[in-house]
Structure 1
Amino acid sequence: MAGEPIVLVVEDEPAQREVLAYNLRAEGVSVVTAASGDEALIVVQETLPDLIVLDWMLPEVSGIEICRQLKSGAATSKIPIIMLSARSEDTDKVRGLETGADDYITKPYSVAELLARVRTQLRRVRPSSVGERMEYEDIVVDLAEHRVYRGGDLVSLGPTEFRLLTAFMERPGRVWAREQLLDRVWGRDIYVDSRTVDVHVGRLRKALKVAQAGDPIRTVRGAGYALG
């Protein structure tokens, strides 16, 4: 879809590459992929993505070398790079960042955390594409400040409830099945019981009941939940 930010995922493990691509697309991001460093360099020249998620351990040419090449190129030096690595030592993290990576995530990682890091980087380079502010009736979500207001009053939310509300705000009126919310908020590679969704929806409802405001979240029997 036109206007969507483009993210390049460079990962040689097919299953992991597909998990990342699926979850990024669920965030409304256009995804291109590469299985090697050489392929990544070709894709970058053809597509010029807004962000690159780059695995350190790649066949033949390492992610570190790809990062170094991209950051030294005039046309690619400003593209944010999030480095993924099984290397957890501080020296490795420092090496990755000194090579030019804008962020560094150690494997195994939470897909939800990675998506949050992606959103942070995209807000920096493409603020209009990800949106700084979401509104529905008297509810306002300020993505830049990570704050929620209802009727002008500040609402205190935990990180999961914040992600849950953001999903609802993106598609007001849409009925979300529990499994869809699990994929969207927690990530497909994390096992969470579907009843957990009910618990967090309950917490979100309680938090949003400020002053005399009613419950904005509708339960659709046998189907799931919807905002409005």
Structure 2
Amino acid sequence: MSRKRTAILISGRGSNMRSLVSAAKAEDFPAEIALVLSNVGDAAGLEFASGEGIATKVVEHKSFAGREPFERAMQAVLESHGIELVCLAGFMRLLSPWFVEHWRGRMLNVHPALLPSYRGLHTHERALADGVKIHGATVHFVVPEMDAGPIIAQAAVAVRGDDTPETLAARVLEQEHRIYPRALALAASGAAIVQGERVAIAGEPAVGAALVSPAI
């Protein structure tokens, strides 16, 4: 089996990175974590990745005059490592249309909400303020519009009456760690097929192709 060479982009501790690295240790996992790249030199996730024997690279965004030279430097690193798929895992930089379009259909992101609801920041605070009963996480292909793009997988959690943003975030994060490896496997194996603005999963019904867990 040919495994897709995958890079994970991080800016901090990379908890989702760790779940991807763990999943990719399975012999039948269709993606190989070949590189962890950070825009922050002291990102805690770099030490973990290095300890796992994964190549690491720092491209400090502050070292560049603007977004384009920074992204072109990242692109050069990705190309030098033969990267085929990119996973964003707490990468705290907005990416330009040029970079996103280059990786269209090959770059994934995880967002702590059930998209298209609650795009952007402070998702848990906003969900609690609105009194929603179901919240969750989404893995999607990245497009130039922020927190948009075809949805690969989602997982739902029930919002409890005594939830705080912190307790809700913790339960959502557990689901992120569960669905991100699954979504990467679908993308790397070719089972996640983009059809317009939606993703169909090969071998699953066309309706509701994205994976949705029961509320918990």
TM-score (norm 1): 0.40
Q: Give the greater-gyration-radius structure (CA).
A: 1
- Bigger fraction of residues in helix: 1
TM-score (norm 2): 0.42
Larger relative contact order (CA 8 Å, sep ≥ 6): 2
